[in-house]
Amino acid sequence: MPNISMKLLAKELGLSLSTVSKVFTDSHEISEQTKQKVLAMAKQLNYVPNPYASSLRKRKSKTIAVVLPEVADSFFSVAINGIESIAREKGYHVLIYLTHELFDREQAILADFQSGRVDGVLISVSNGTTNDSHINDMMQRGIPVVFFDRVCEETATTRITTNDRESGRLATQHLLENGCKRIAFLTLSESLSISRNRLDGCRQALAAHRLIFQENDLVLCTDKDADNRDIIKRLLQRKDRPDGIIASVEKLTAGVYLACRDLKMVIPKDVKVISFSNQSTAPILNPSLTTITQPAFEMGKAAAAALFNNLKRNNQQYKPETIVVPSVLVPRESTTGVHQG
Amino acid sequence: MPNISMKLLAKELGLSLSTVSKVFTDSHEISEQTKQKVLAMAKQLNYVPNPYASSLRKRKSKTIAVVLPEVADSFFSVAINGIESIAREKGYHVLIYLTHELFDREQAILADFQSGRVDGVLISVSNGTTNDSHINDMMQRGIPVVFFDRVCEETATTRITTNDRESGRLATQHLLENGCKRIAFLTLSESLSISRNRLDGCRQALAAHRLIFQENDLVLCTDKDADNRDIIKRLLQRKDRPDGIIASVEKLTAGVYLACRDLKMVIPKDVKVISFSNQSTAPILNPSLTTITQPAFEMGKAAAAALFNNLKRNNQQYKPETIVVPSVLVPRESTTGVHQG
């Protein structure tokens, strides 16, 4: 049964289009009796008001956009769950956009929002994002933006992060306490704030143990697993090879495990491994993987809640805030050699 | 800089609102000269047409909805990638909705679409979906629906599936060829078409080997990992315990591995395991996991392409079709005991 138009509904009722329209905006100009009559006929004829007409009237789309680098990473999948749970509660719809780590795609996606498609934006920026002018443009047009996980540090808006620097420090300290002398840091990007912060924490922990981070121990990987396997093999074949590895991004874990297998190196005897990862399979890897686990669901929820607070305030008296939801280090066999329950 | 209205733009140009409006619908009634003049002033004043106004005029939202049970499963994350790649190509926006396996939530989500928010729907139904009246309602209102992965088999619309029955058969045959005599089948739902088809394939393969599937080897698990670990432990402690396990859903893998660890049972010596899974960590599990890998990205792409074909035809001469994108069995140590490269 197709949707009938408001015009047809008005005709059926013998009322003016404007009267019927006012019923659906719940106008005080219309008597309760007329309202009931219109709503009863609407139900009978199966009339449903068009949400975009309502969006135009109220200048609200009841829609938010979530802009992500990718969804195959379990952090982002779980974060979407958190975002969706809050959006549903608030009666909002969620548009998903993937940048695939491309800055120009991120810019094009945001440019499209300026026309009023969305009321607000949650974004985790791409590896390639080098400036924030596209984000400032949005905010100047009155569309609030909240960062989560991957942020532009100079932008004056709310950001939801985890304690990346502290986690980098803890990961490194954990490797040192388990006997490592030389630690390599695998990353997908040298410019991304979260990578830089995790690396800073690593340097700090080394310095606290009177060790210096060697620049050739900073290893730039790619988004291709096969390439990373080779890159990590070359790292592990160096004369001055590391005895501890920090994978600063979940997707680098497989490369480390496969490179060790290729080289017949045993984790954790020959090299200890810790990964920033939310993968549910960490406990059943061979060996089980020590992780820094990010609070993905909580970060998604906090980001959505912050955005809705902004929308409620209608950008009045906007005070950007930084909310830090801490990560957790879960020690397993890949660093301790100790079998877990 | 906030968006200016079309009214203000018309005023600045000394033209009627209707003339300016026709420029943005590219009406043939307007001369090329006037068009250029309006577009130049629009650019100068930073006027962007509201997409919802355009939606109302064209009765098209340029938006599709993707309704999923969850996103933490890597099949669905990868499928979203495939869907998004096609939607972007077509200039469409993608709304994401999660049912969390609840039938009433799925019904509520679809009911909301009837107001014209979306032009079409891609859906993978929840575990709890017992009938298709909510889907038929949508289609009767002229909103096309395409199923992918989890389908309602009686609904007359296009469905994109993988070869579930054949994959269940292959998985079982693979276990039998590797020496299994008694096979348990773990599932999250007895009503879901994909589960039933995979189980049918399992029964077929057993029958071909003159074996009968024992009904107590069909094990209903839950969406809680801790519960599943206990359920699988009870299965493996039975006197007539299986020597082969098919996990028909990715998320059941961890329960099997952890139950074996708790019971000090060795995979594949004591029990062989194969899982329907798209997890990138399958090769680095302990032991590496034999999988039936579904073509998630291709299925997402095929589903989106089928939906856009439907939209183009405007539901005229609609012929439902079933597209089967085959899965692949990847043998690894958890069934063969043979170390993989």
Close Cβ partners of B280 (under 8 Å, ≥ 6 residues apart): A72, A225, A251, A254, B74
Identify the residue with better confidence: A283 or A59.
A283
A235 dihedral zone (left: phi>0; alpha: psi -120 to 50; beta): alpha
Report, in this order, helix, strand and coil percent for chain B, each rounded to 5: 45, 15, 40
| Cross-chain Cβ contact B94/A96 below 8 Å | yes
Close Cβ partners of A31 (under 8 Å, ≥ 6 residues apart): none
How far, in Å, CA of A225 to CA of A231, rounded?
10
Both tokens of B244, joined, read 């082969």
How far, in Å, CA of A124 to CA of A145, rounded?
10
Percent over 90 (pLDDT), chain B? 58
| Cross-chain Cβ contact B48/A80 below 8 Å | no
C-alpha pair distances (Å), A55 with each of A50, A61, A116, A143, B240: 9, 5, 9, 15, 62
How far, in Å, CA of B308 to CA of B86, rounded?
9
How far, in Å, CA of B102 to CA of B125, rounded?
9
Identify the residue with better confidence: B56 or A338.
A338
Q: B44, B268, B298, B304: which is closest to B175 by C-alpha?
A: B268
B63-92 mean pLDDT = 89
* Gyration radius of chain B over CA positions: 26
Find, in chain A, the residue whose alpha carbon is nearest to that of B259.
Answer: A341
Using an 8 Å CB-CB cutoff, list chain A residues near B56. 50, 52-53, 56
pTM: 0.79
| Lowest mean pLDDT across A18-27, B174-183, B219-228, B249-258 | A18-27
Positive/negative CA dihedral, B138, B122, B190, B153 = positive
Contact A326, A163 (CB under 8 A): yes
Find, in chain B, the residue whose alpha carbon is nearest to that of A4.
Answer: B141
What number of H helices and E strands is found in chain B?
A: 13, 12
How far, in Å, CA of A218 to CA of A200, rounded?
12
Q: How many CB pairs under 8 A join A and B?
A: 158
pLDDT digits (tens, 9 = 90+) for B203-248: 999 999 999 999 999 999 998 888 999 999 999 999 999 999 999 9
Q: Is A55 on the interface with B (CB under 8 A)?
A: yes
How high is the pLDDT of residue A1? 40
How high is the pLDDT of residue A234? 97
Q: Is B336 on the interface with A (CB under 8 A)?
A: no
Q: Is the pLDDT of residue A2 over 50?
A: no
Label residue A51 by pLDDT band (50, 70, 90). Answer: low
Q: Is the pLDDT of residue B2 over 50?
A: no
Name B183's bridge partners: B244
How high is the pLDDT of residue B93? 93
How high is the pLDDT of residue A227? 93
Q: Which residue has the tokens 């009968």?
A: B212
Q: Is the pLDDT of residue B69 over 80?
A: yes
| Cross-chain Cβ contact A116/B140 below 8 Å | no
Q: Is the pLDDT of residue A59 over 70?
A: no
What is the strand order of the sheet B328-330 is part of? B218-220, B183-187, B244-247, B272-276, B290-293, B328-330
Please give, rounded to a whole number of angstroms, the shortest distance from the CA of B173 to a CA of chain A: 25
Q: Is A56 on the interface with B (CB under 8 A)?
A: yes
Q: B37, B8, B74: which is closest to A75 by C-alpha?
A: B74
Q: Is A94 on the interface with B (CB under 8 A)?
A: yes
How high is the pLDDT of residue A340? 58
Question: Amino acid identity of B323?
Answer: I
Please give, rounded to a whole number of angstroms, the shortest distance from the CA of B163 to a CA of chain A: 23
Label residue B141 by pLDDT band (50, 70, 90). Answer: confident
How far, in Å, CA of B294 to CA of B161, rounded?
9
Q: Is A226 on the interface with B (CB under 8 A)?
A: no
How high is the pLDDT of residue B57? 53
How high is the pLDDT of residue B60? 74
Label residue A93 by pLDDT band (50, 70, 90). Answer: very high
CA B240 to centroid of chain Cα atoms? 36
Q: Is the pLDDT of residue A231 over 50?
A: yes
pLDDT digits (tens, 9 = 90+) for A165-217: 999 999 999 999 999 999 999 998 888 888 999 999 999 999 999 999 999 99
Picking from A81, A262, A284, the nearest residue to B257 by CB comes out as A284
How far, in Å, CA of B48 to CA of A116, rounded?
9
Question: Residue ranges of the domains in chain B?
Answer: 6-49, 58-162+296-326, 164-293
How far, in Å, CA of B260 to CA of B228, rounded?
12
Identify the residue with better confidence: A23 or B287.
B287
Please give, rounded to a whole number of angstroms, the shortest distance from the CA of A256 to a CA of chain B: 10
How high is the pLDDT of residue B128? 83
Positive/negative CA dihedral, B192, B101, A284, B233 = negative
How far, in Å, CA of B79 to CA of B88, rounded?
14
ipTM for the predicted complex comes to: 0.76
Identify the residue with better confidence: A281 or A248.
A248
Using an 8 Å CB-CB cutoff, list chain B residues near A301. none
Summary mean pLDDT of chain A: 88
Reduce the DSSP state of residue A183 to 3 states and report it.
strand
Label residue A316 by pLDDT band (50, 70, 90). Answer: low
- Which residue of B286, B291, B314 to mutate against A (max A Cβ within 10 Å)? B286
Percent over 70 (pLDDT), chain B? 92
- Residues 165-224 in B contacting A (C-alpha not used; CB under 8 Å): none
Using an 8 Å CB-CB cutoff, list chain A residues near B84. 96-98
Q: Is B50 on the interface with A (CB under 8 A)?
A: yes
| Cross-chain Cβ contact B1/A140 below 8 Å | yes
Find, in chain A, the residue whose alpha carbon is nearest to that of B60.
Answer: A52
CATH topology classification for B58-162+296-326: Rossmann fold (3.40.50)
Name B292's bridge partners: B276, B329
| Cross-chain Cβ contact A285/B287 below 8 Å | no
Find, in chain A, the residue whose alpha carbon is nearest to that of B280.
Answer: A254
Close Cβ partners of A303 (under 8 Å, ≥ 6 residues apart): A79, A82, A83, A122, A146, A147, A148, A160
pLDDT digits (tens, 9 = 90+) for B282-332: 998 989 999 999 999 999 999 999 999 988 876 566 678 899 999 999 999
- Residues 296-335 in A contacting B (C-alpha not used; CB under 8 Å): none
Contact A120, A143 (CB under 8 A): yes
Label residue B35 by pLDDT band (50, 70, 90). Answer: confident
Q: Is the pLDDT of residue A276 over 80?
A: yes
Close Cβ partners of B80 (under 8 Å, ≥ 6 residues apart): A71, A96, A98, B66, B68, B71, B94, B96, B300
CATH topology classification for A164-293: Rossmann fold (3.40.50)
How far, in Å, CA of A242 to CA of A303, rounded?
37
Using an 8 Å CB-CB cutoff, list chain B residues near A286. 284-288
- In the 8-state DSSP scheme, what is residue B339? P
Rank A51-60, A129-138, B34-43 by mean pLDDT and report only the highest. A129-138
How high is the pLDDT of residue B74? 78
Both tokens of B149, joined, read 């992965």
Q: Is the pLDDT of residue B75 over 80?
A: yes
Contact B96, B80 (CB under 8 A): yes
How far, in Å, CA of B168 to CA of B164, rounded?
6
How high is the pLDDT of residue B324? 95
Q: Do domains B6-49 and B58-162+296-326 have the same CATH topology?
A: no
CATH number for the segment(s) A6-49? 1.10.260
Identify the residue with better confidence: B50 or B271.
B271
Q: Is B283 on the interface with A (CB under 8 A)?
A: yes
How high is the pLDDT of residue B1? 40
Both tokens of A235, joined, read 């790292």
Label residue A108 by pLDDT band (50, 70, 90). Answer: very high
Label residue B112 by pLDDT band (50, 70, 90). Answer: confident
- Residues 109-138 in A contacting B (C-alpha not used; CB under 8 Å): 114-117
CA B279 to centroid of chain Cα atoms? 15
Name A187's bridge partners: A220
Find, in chain B, the residue whose alpha carbon is nearest to that of A143.
Answer: B2
| Lowest mean pLDDT across A40-49, A54-63, A296-305, B220-229 | A54-63
Please give, rounded to a whole number of angstroms, the shortest distance from the CA of A212 to a CA of chain B: 32
Using an 8 Å CB-CB cutoff, list chain B residues near A80. 71, 96, 98
Q: Is the pLDDT of residue A23 over 50?
A: yes
Tally of CA atoms within 13 A in the half-sphere of B121 that contains its CB: 29
